Structure 1
Amino acid sequence: MISKPQKRISQKALTVWRISGVITSLIGWLITAAAVFLLHIFDLPGWISIILIVLAVIFPVLHIFLFPTLRWKSWRYEVREEEIELEEGIFVKTRTLVPMVRVQHVDTNQGPLLRKYKLASVVVHTAATAHTIPALEETEAEELRFFISKLARVAEEDV
């Protein structure tokens, strides 16, 4: 039986995901403020405003503190000679096996936040889908990209 994947993504992912949560929360607060303002102007029931305000307090707590921690703890990956295994999910665990013979190409990508924290994501492309290993250290991501590419070439030659 194949063991569960053991490698973790960078702990800096927590910081990046929390900053993303703050940005998302700020946008949510702006939308909530506009909605509450419109509700007040059109003299609609106050309980709707109260629900919106409560949600505007609860969601940031979840998206800034709880979900990034749970997401980081649940993310695992392993690259083996014949497959790549990914495990993720907070409430629903998903384990994915990507056979090396199916790998077409491998990319790394960085958004502004990942670049600031010297992180990169590795994206493994197959004919049908793309699988992402998020928030690895830049050097680790580059090494992993070349390693997977090399294994995919070897797997292709063996077929």
Structure 2
Amino acid sequence: MNELGEGSGTDGCDDNWRSLPGRTRTAWLVNEAISCVIALAVCGVVVAVCVANGWWGFWQQLIVGLFAAYAVLDLAFQPLQTKYAYTFYRFRIGERDLRTRRGWLLRKSTAVPYNRVQHVDTKQNPVLRHFNLTTVVVHTAADEVEIEALDTAEAERVVALITERVASAKDDL
């Protein structure tokens, strides 16, 4: 097994699937809390503008109330959603392709052959930076695939490994 947790078996071996670091859950929760605060701030601004201009009627109250209730309920259920997302998010860096899978009930699996990769980069928002996490983004002509919230040092190793395998795959063509 190498430094990135890959086994020496074939690309189809299930033991090659890796999960994200545990602090990813906390980073996701903080991001959602920030989104909720922004949504509630927008509601506050809409209320202030509507009241100041005499537009504060039944429909405005209903729309702002539903939007605010949705934001608060989303935040209330976010720990459960985050636990679910974290539990069922896996990625694998194989010999011929990169694979990700997420979800249990609504499952999504993606396989990206290295010969289709155009470039690989990383991204961080302030929350990920605070938790020393980085997202690896693999770009193809049609789409992009993300390996979310890896340790920053590991993300750099993953980028180097994928870049090396992309170069090897394109040399084989």
Place the TM-score, normalised by the shorter chain, in its bin.
0.7 to 0.9
**Cα distance in 2, alignment partners of residues 52 and 132 from structure 1:** 29
Question: In structure 1, how many angstroms separate the alpha carbons of the residues matched to 2:169 and 2:67?
Answer: 54
Encode CA deviations 1:69-100: one digit per residue, 9 max, x unaligned: 22111210001010111112465211001001
CA distance in 2, matches of 1:50, 1:149: 49
Verify: 1:26 aligned to 2:37, yes or no: yes
Q: Could you tell me which residue of structure 2 aligns to residue 59 of structure 1?
A: 74
CA distance in 2, matches of 1:54, 1:144: 40
> Structure 2: 5+ residue runs without aligned partners?
1-10
Residue of structure 2 aligned with 1:73, choices 80, 87, 92: 87
For residues 1-159 of structure 1, the aligned pairs below 5 Å read 2-4=12-14, 6-35=17-46, 38=50, 42=55, 44-45=57-58, 48=62, 51-52=66-67, 54-63=69-78, 65-89=79-103, 92-159=106-173
Of 132-141 and 4-13, deviating more is 4-13
Alpha carbon RMSD of aligned pairs, Å? 2.6
Q: Where do 5+ consecutive residues of structure 1 fail to align?
A: none
State how many pairs are aligned. 158
| 2-structure distance, mates of 1:26, 1:18 | 12
Query: TM-score normalized by structure 1?
Result: 0.84
- Aligned-pair identity in percent equals 27
Aligned partner letter, 1:8: S
TM-score where L is the length of structure 2: 0.78
Counterpart secondary structure, 1:104: strand
- Whether the 8 Å CA contact 2:85–2:102 is kept in 1: the answer is yes
- 8 Å Cα contact 1:36/1:52 also seen in 2: no
Measure, in 1, the Cα distance between the counterparts of 2:24 and 2:121: 19
CA distance, structure 2, for counterparts of residue 158 and residue 56 of structure 1: 50
Moved more, 147-156 or 44-53: 44-53
1:56: Cα distance to partner?
4.2
